[in-house]
């Protein structure tokens, strides 16, 4: 696991999302078990659920 600093500001159209849940899918299991070649380092658990916590300029809702 690696931590990254939060941005001080967001560009127009960007949103900051707090990840609340990430699941392991079938392709993740194949990668972990060595049955699928994957460039490394790889980000596993790409099926996530999050909460928008901050909007960039010009945005105050999502559609």
Q: What is the pLDDT along the chain (63 residues), one digit of tens a residue?
A: 778 898 999 999 899 999 899 888 888 888 888 887 767 677 777 788 999 999 899 877 776
SS3 63: coil
What is the per-residue pLDDT for 16?
A: 92
d(CA 52, CA 62): 9
What is the per-residue pLDDT for 9?
A: 92
What is the per-residue pLDDT for 22?
A: 86
Residues 6+ apart with CB under 8 A from 52: 15, 16, 17, 62
What is the per-residue pLDDT for 63?
A: 67
Backbone angles phi, psi at 59, to 5 degrees: -140, 130
């Amino acid at each position: 696991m690696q931590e990254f600093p939060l941005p001080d500001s967001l560009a127009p159209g960007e949103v900051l999302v707090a990840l609340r849940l990430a699941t392991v899918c079938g392709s993740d299991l194949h990668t972990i078990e060595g049955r699928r070649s994957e460039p490394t380092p790889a980000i596993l658990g790409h099926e996530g659920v999050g909460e928008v916590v901050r909007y960039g300029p010009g945005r105050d809702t999502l559609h």
